[in-house]
């Protein structure tokens, strides 16, 4: 990972023509707090994400970065404050939650593909059952996205027969089949062998080039430098610093950020 970070020239040229941040608000989080029992994991989070933004969230483990993006699609419940996604406020109303979840795609560290279904079935399941898309049409869409992540030939295999990198690309395709307006990535490359990280990052870069709104929890600083328009550093459940990637890496303001960057980039 440091390879890309220290030597950005090694990566391919990014096409920035579609990467435009609009004034439209995609996600608005204000005064959000969350506790696990009595442990205060997220403290007074305020964050506004505009459509088309590519945000990388980093920070030491236990800083609450994963919890933050998992709150956006209600995999975790927040106890105070507001989260508004695409104009819909997250409340305990199940209808709202299912609506938001079907419009916000998510990729996990451990892929979470369904091992008893083929790759194609993994991709068509939600469109068929949630969006009520006809099976034939859902399969065409699925094949389109599987081609996009460059594994159409694996469509009839089971997840257990694929490599980690391939599985993660399937997971991305599976989310894309729901035509989400926002994508969340929760450490998508942390469980992968070094050889496979690049293929997943390339897929994510392509997605960014098409103007997808993305929130990524990742330690891939090269990816942050190349693709992100904003880097957020979290520690102890709070947003400590956020800035454009150039400035963030060159002139970190807080001591916590400096220490963190020196630890992950220094070796």
The least distance separating other proteins from the CB of residue 72, rounded to whole angstroms, comes to 11
Strands 230-235 and 80-85: unpaired
Binding site for other proteins (CB under 8 A): 73-75, 94, 98-99, 101-106, 108, 110-116, 125-126, 129-130, 157-161, 174-175, 178
Q: Which is nearer to other proteins, 85 or 221 (CB)?
A: 85
Q: Which is nearer to other proteins, 103 or 202 (CB)?
A: 103
Instruction: Using CA atoms of 106, 107, 113, 118 in order, give the dihedral in degrees to the nearest 10.
Output: 80
The least distance separating other proteins from the CB of residue 262, rounded to whole angstroms, comes to 33
Q: Which is nearer to other proteins, 35 or 158 (CB)?
A: 158
Cα-Cα-Cα-Cα dihedral sign, residues 204, 209, 215, 221: positive
**How many whole angstroms separate alpha carbon 56 and alpha carbon 65?**
10
Q: Which is nearer to other proteins, 167 or 218 (CB)?
A: 167
The least distance separating other proteins from the CB of residue 156, rounded to whole angstroms, comes to 12
The least distance separating other proteins from the CB of residue 112, rounded to whole angstroms, comes to 3
What interhelical angle do 164-176 and 119-129 show, nearest 10? 20
Q: DSSP string spanning 51-65?
A: TT-EEEEE-STTSSH
List the 80-85 sheet strands across, edge first. 39-50, 25-36, 80-85, 88-89
The least distance separating other proteins from the CB of residue 101, rounded to whole angstroms, comes to 4
Q: Which is nearer to other proteins, 4 or 128 (CB)?
A: 128
């Amino acid at each position: 990972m440091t390879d890309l970070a220290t030597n950005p020239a090694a990566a391919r040229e990014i096409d920035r023509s579609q990467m435009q941040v609009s004034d439209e608000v995609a996600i608005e989080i204000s005064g959000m707090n969350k506790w696990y029992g009595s442990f205060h994991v997220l403290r007074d989070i305020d964050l506004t994400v505009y459509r088309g933004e590519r945000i990388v969230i980093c920070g030491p483990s236990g800083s609450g970065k994963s919890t933050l993006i998992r709150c956006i699609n209600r995999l975790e419940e927040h106890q105070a404050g507001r989260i508004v996604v695409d104009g819909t406020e997250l409340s305990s109303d199940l209808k709202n939650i299912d609506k938001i979840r079907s419009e916000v795609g998510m990729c996990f560290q451990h892929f979470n593909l369904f091992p008893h279904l083929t790759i194609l079935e993994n991709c068509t399941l939600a469109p068929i059952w949630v969006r009520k898309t006809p099976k034939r049409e859902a399969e065409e869409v699925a094949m389109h996205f599987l081609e996009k992540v460059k594994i159409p030939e694996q469509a009839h295999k089971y997840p257990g027969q694929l490599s980690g990198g391939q599985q993660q690309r399937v997971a991305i395709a599976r989310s894309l089949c729901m035509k989400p307006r926002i994508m969340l990535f929760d450490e998508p490359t942390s469980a992968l062998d070094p050889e496979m990280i690049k293929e997943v990052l390339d897929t994510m870069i392509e997605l960014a080039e098409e103007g997808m709104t993305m929130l990524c929890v990742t330690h891939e600083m090269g990816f942050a430098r190349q693709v992100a328009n904003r880097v957020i550093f979290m520690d102890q459940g709070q947003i400590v610093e956020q800035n454009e990637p150039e400035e963030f890496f060159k002139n970190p303001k807080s001591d916590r950020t400096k220490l963190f960057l020196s630890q992950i980039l220094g070796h």
